[in-house]
A = this chain, B = another copy of it.
């Protein structure tokens, strides 16, 4: 009796040519049939953005280790939506996004294109995971993550995920993680956010930069705490942002 191999859709926000998605693809081909549909260029910080007002094209790339590969001239969420509509012949069993070059811990989840794609998969009812390494370098070394990603991906293929939940998984840079912790996102925000310039024509302009301010650096319930101690972190994420526990309080003020 033949058992069908699971179908795994892979995307990211650094673009189809990045090192992180290639590493993830090579891991995933050992676990299922893999199709890559990823942005044709860098889409960092694109959150759950959609391309509303311009056309999308699909371009075919050479396979890697038997994984079919396609690019889309859009955002990570566009890639997931268009993969479902025009590329895949059945609903995938799993969506993997990444491996991102850079952190998506703490408040970064909300700006992250990597996590935008994972959340889109979750909205569509597909178990979805975003993987990130805290190293922005295009030459980041993803090898220390291989056994962790293989193990987690295998388990989620077997167990699935609770309804309405996807996973934001981050790994520390330049080390083999000491282990993995399931925690919540640290509270904080970006501060001192822009570099100031003046153009050759005398016009001021601004470029995003900034430092993350962690409100609770000593709290072991948080992702940032463990990442700074060389652990990987798993944060369960729900795309539905309703604060159900605040409905009656707000109703009292406003109805």
Closest to A194 in B: B85
A200 at the A/B interface (Cβ < 8 Å)?
A: no
Binary contact track A205-224/B, C-beta < 8 Å → 1, others 0: 11110000000000000000
Complex-state Cα separation, A31 to B180, whole angstroms = 50
B241 touches A57 (CB 8 A): no
Closest to A57 in B: B205
Closest to A72 in B: B206
Number of chain A residues whose Cβ lies closer than 8 Å to a Cβ of chain B: 81
A253 at the A/B interface (Cβ < 8 Å)?
A: yes
Complex-state Cα separation, A199 to B7, whole angstroms = 31
Binary contact track A159-170/B, C-beta < 8 Å → 1, others 0: 101101101000
Give the number of times this chain occurs in the complex, counting copies.
Answer: 2
B57 touches A240 (CB 8 A): no
A255 touches B181 (CB 8 A): yes
Partner of A180 from the list B44, B49, B255 (CB cut-off 8 Å) is: B255
Q: Is the interface of A mostly helix, strand, loop or mixed?
A: mixed
Partner of A238 from the list B53, B55, B243, B249 (CB cut-off 8 Å) is: B243
Complex-state Cα separation, A45 to B187, whole angstroms = 26
A110 at the A/B interface (Cβ < 8 Å)?
A: yes
Complex-state Cα separation, A239 to B207, whole angstroms = 24
Partner of A236 from the list B110, B180, B240, B242 (CB cut-off 8 Å) is: B242
How far apart are A159's CB and chain B's nearest CB, in angstroms?
Answer: 5
Complex-state Cα separation, A187 to B187, whole angstroms = 27
Given contacts A82-B194, A152-B254, A236-B250, contact A241 B185 (CB under 8 A): yes
Chain A positions near chain B (C-beta within 8 angstroms): 42, 44-53, 55-58, 75, 77-78, 81-82, 84-86, 107, 109-111, 116, 119, 123-125, 152, 155-156, 159, 161-162, 164-165, 167, 179-185, 187, 189-190, 193-194, 196-197, 203-208, 234-244, 246-251, 253-255
